[in-house]
Amino acid sequence: MNSITKKVLFILTDSDRLKVLFLLIISFLRTILDLLSVGLIVPFLIFLFDEDKKVLILEYFPYLKQYSQNELIVLSIIVLLIIYLFKTLIVILVNFLNERVAQNLRVEISRKLLLKYLNNNFLFFIENNSSKLLRNISSETMMFTHGIVVNFINFFTNSIFFIGICTGLIIYDINSIYVMGVLLLISSIIIFAYNKKFYEWGIIRSIESENFIRELNEVFGSIKEVILYNKANYYLEETLAPLRKFARSTIYKDSFSHTTAPIIEFIGVSIFFLFLIFLILFVKMEINSVFVLVGFLAFASIKILPNLVALIKSIQSFKYNIPAVENIYKDFTSRKNRKSNKMLNDIKNIKFSNVSFKYPATKKPVLKNVNLNINKGDKVAIIGETGSGKSTLLNLLSGLLLPSKGNVYSNKYNLKNYQLNIGYVSQFVYMSDKSIIKNVSLSKELNQKNKKRINEILKNLSLGKLTNIKKNKNTGERGAKISGGQIQRIGIARAIYRNPSILVLDEATNSLDAGVEEKVLKYVFSNFKNKIIILCTHKQKLIKYCNKIIEVKNNSVKIKRS
């Protein structure tokens, strides 16, 4: 538990801790009012049933002697109602502040988690499925804020209330200690009996929620195959399998959690009546005192039993949500941060010096002892068989990956510490469900000058027929409302718009027909005469645009023409 506490405190900032402390103080005030509202029942019952103790109260508060019996009862009721009103207002305020702090905390942790992911290197995204990252940002942050932080505040206030009520009952009559002792014993048995199970169910929830998101991503990502191959039932079963496991663990968790209340209520009521029998048969008390004690105990039970149930559920919830803490903490402390954002703009050359690279999950290197030099103005074609390592070489050239051995330099600077001003177009261009203009600019707001420049680029890429209306309409999820060729040209426009020093085209024109491809490449190469263009292609006819050919073969590279 100490380890989990340290992890929670690590995730929370100093500001977050102060907010939680503030909520604890306000919640403590609410608890004091709760205790007062219960404690005031005693004088009310004394005024009704116990004449002897009524005299003692009047001796402590002599100014009350001026009131009659009925007036004292009415006065007690008024004081009780005032405290209840004040307590109700405090409860409303505390609930609002609890939810506000929890939601703001969730947003802040989600922001920090997403920023942490975005600052990771490219290898991090190769090794981690996006479903895990989505789960952590969406559901695990909610489990952390509500299941851990808010739950801790509730546990604290319920504990104070329970201790206060028990203390009051014992002070009023020492025999109450037997009732409290039995209740605590039964509660402890319930907690420890299923403590481990709640943690296991929490792990299942965490794993299967990730699997469910992954299956959903896959089914919607392959929707054409689902329709054309009539595979709806297959994907339905694949998607529902983790959801069923998730649901099963939730059923067990909720069922055992919900059985706590009726068990505690039954035991509490049983103890109450057994205690009443004990008082009547074995304790010499006046009947009036018995009525007061029983009335106090009955009213306290209305409060203490739900409170005890809430305490048990809080402990069960802690256990259930520990996996969320561990998931968030693990990603918060990961060290695969991206290199510096120091930008190299005027790139004169790129040099590979004995570069080797292997992925963590593989034993053999994809590339070994690569040495090459690319100068400003070079137009380089990268060729090779599928799986030869062309994409890895491109990722090393662009700085997405860092060498396992050796170094990559640009302008004599090691790319471990710098980022290239690069335009990168892959064969699969990602399109957000926004307008074409926003997909090119990747910006919220654009001035007229930049909009005009984007329109000129689109026109030169044979996208001029797109009307102004269509340019401002959303392109659909992943560009579903436009053609594959248009998507690739928008990707090229996105790269050109940034005016990069290096342009990388990774099979970036394979969806274009020959005529459009020729026009697009002529425009691109004419506009990048004095800059580096790296063209990865399987089309032999496109090599004519390049003055260097790099063949990737047998884990090494060979310059075929220069």
Which CATH number is 195's domain given? Answer: 1.20.1560.10
Residue 105 lies in a domain: no
Q: 476 and 443 share a domain?
A: yes
Separation of alpha carbons 77 and 363, rounded Å: 79
Q: 357 and 380 share a domain?
A: yes
Q: Quick one: DSSP state of residue 35?
A: H
Residue 368, φ and ψ in degrees, nearest 5: -140, 125
The pLDDT of residue 508: 83
Question: 73 Cβ partners below 8 Å, 6+ apart?
Answer: 44, 47, 48
Identify which of 433, 424, 440 has the alpha carbon closest to the alpha carbon of residue 482. Answer: 433
The token pair at 242 is 């983790």
The domain in which residue 517 lies consists of 343-561
Beta bridge partners of 557: 552
Determine contact, residues 377/533, Cβ cutoff 8 Å.
Answer: no
- Amino acid, res. 64: L
Q: Are strands 349-357 and 367-375 parallel, antiparallel or unpaired?
A: antiparallel
Q: 347 and 475 share a domain?
A: yes
CA distances to 168, 170, 308, 312, 366 from 184, rounded to whole Å, are 16, 14, 9, 10, 63
Residue 155: how many other CB atoms lie within 10 Å: 17
> At which of 332, 356, 373 does a domain end?
332
Q: Quick one: DSSP state of residue 483?
A: -
3-state secondary structure of 520: helix
Q: 172 and 245 share a domain?
A: yes
Sheet order of strands, 405-410 included: 367-375, 349-357, 405-410, 413-414
Query: For each of the chain's 562 residues, which pLDDT tens digit applies?
Result: 678 889 999 999 899 899 889 888 888 888 887 777 766 666 666 565 556 566 666 666 676 667 776 776 777 778 778 877 887 888 888 888 888 888 999 999 999 999 998 888 888 888 888 999 999 999 999 999 999 998 998 898 888 888 887 787 777 667 677 777 777 787 788 778 777 888 999 999 999 999 999 998 888 888 878 887 888 888 889 889 999 999 999 998 888 888 877 887 787 777 777 777 776 676 665 655 666 566 666 666 667 778 788 888 888 889 999 999 999 999 888 766 665 667 778 888 889 999 999 988 788 888 988 898 888 888 888 888 887 888 888 888 888 888 889 998 888 888 887 888 888 988 888 888 888 888 888 887 778 888 888 888 888 888 877 645 455 677 777 777 888 888 888 888 888 888 888 889 888 887 888 888 888 888 888 888 888 899 888 888 888 888 889 888 888 888 876 5
Residue 528 lies in a domain: yes
The pLDDT of residue 40: 64
Residue 398: how many other CB atoms lie within 10 Å: 21
Residue 104 lies in a domain: no
Q: 215 and 159 share a domain?
A: yes
Sheet order of strands, 532-536 included: 422-425, 502-506, 532-536, 379-383, 548-553, 556-561
- Amino acid, res. 3: S
Q: 461 and 544 share a domain?
A: yes
Q: 295 and 379 share a domain?
A: no
The pLDDT of residue 536: 87
Tokens 């014992």 belong to residue: 170
Residue 314 lies in a domain: yes
Determine contact, residues 370/556, Cβ cutoff 8 Å.
Answer: yes
3-state secondary structure of 239: helix
Q: 233 and 352 share a domain?
A: no
Residue 1 lies in a domain: no
The pLDDT of residue 110: 93
CA distances to 367, 482, 487 from 364, rounded to whole Å, are 9, 41, 36
> At which of 292, 307, 332 does a domain end?
332
CA distances to 302, 448, 536 from 188, rounded to whole Å, are 20, 69, 67
The pLDDT of residue 529: 84
Domain with residue 529: its CATH number is: 3.40.50.300
Determine contact, residues 400/504, Cβ cutoff 8 Å.
Answer: no
Overall domain count for the chain: 2
Q: 292 and 384 share a domain?
A: no
Separation of alpha carbons 102 and 19, rounded Å: 10
pTM of the model: 0.78
Q: 245 and 140 share a domain?
A: yes
The pLDDT of residue 45: 60
What spatial distance separates the first Cα and last Cα of the chain, rounded to whole Å?
A: 65
Residue 288 lies in a domain: yes
Q: 302 and 363 share a domain?
A: no
H-assigned helices in 433-535? 436-441, 448-458, 468-471, 484-497, 514-527
The token pair at 179 is 């009732």
Q: 515 and 379 share a domain?
A: yes
> At which of 288, 308, 332 does a domain end?
332
Q: Quick one: DSSP state of residue 337?
A: B
Residue 83 lies in a domain: no
The token pair at 392 is 């890895």
The pLDDT of residue 294: 64
